[in-house]
Amino acid sequence: MRKPRKIKRYCPFCKKHTIHDVERIKKKKASELKQGQRRFRRVMKGYRGFPRPKPEGREKTSRRIALRYACTVCHKMHQPASIRSKKFELGE
């Protein structure tokens, strides 16, 4: 899937269609201080095995792509629901 870097979309803040800058959101590094990560580290400590069963079956063919749109008029950003795609490319 190809998307242009600038696209005309509805801005919920301006309440009209304006030009938006498109950017792909990348996953940030998980925090070691979150409760789930602390629990995971506690369970993994010592001589026990892996705390959860290994995922069965094959990998999905497509990934979810999260896009963030920045309005060029009011400079506010909004992020609609993510879409699925095998390949993604931001064009000109």
> Which pLDDT score is estimated for 82?
92
Task: Tell me the C-alpha to C-alpha distance, in Å, between residue 53 and each of 4, 56, 72.
Answer: 41, 9, 47
Per-residue pLDDT of the chain (92 residues), as tens digits, is 899 999 999 999 999 999 999 999 988 898 999 999 999 889 888 887 787 777 788 888 999 999 999 999 999 999 999 999 999 999 87
- Is the pTM above the cut of 0.75? no
The CATH number covering residue 70 comes to 3.10.450.80
State how many domains the chain has. Answer: 1
Classify each residue of 24-42 as buried b or exposed e, where b means 16 or more C-beta atoms within 10 Å of its C-beta.
eeeeeeeeeeeeeeeeeee
What distance in Å separates the CA atoms of residue 63 and residue 84, rounded to the nearest whole number? 5
Identify the domain containing residue 11 by its residue range: 2-91
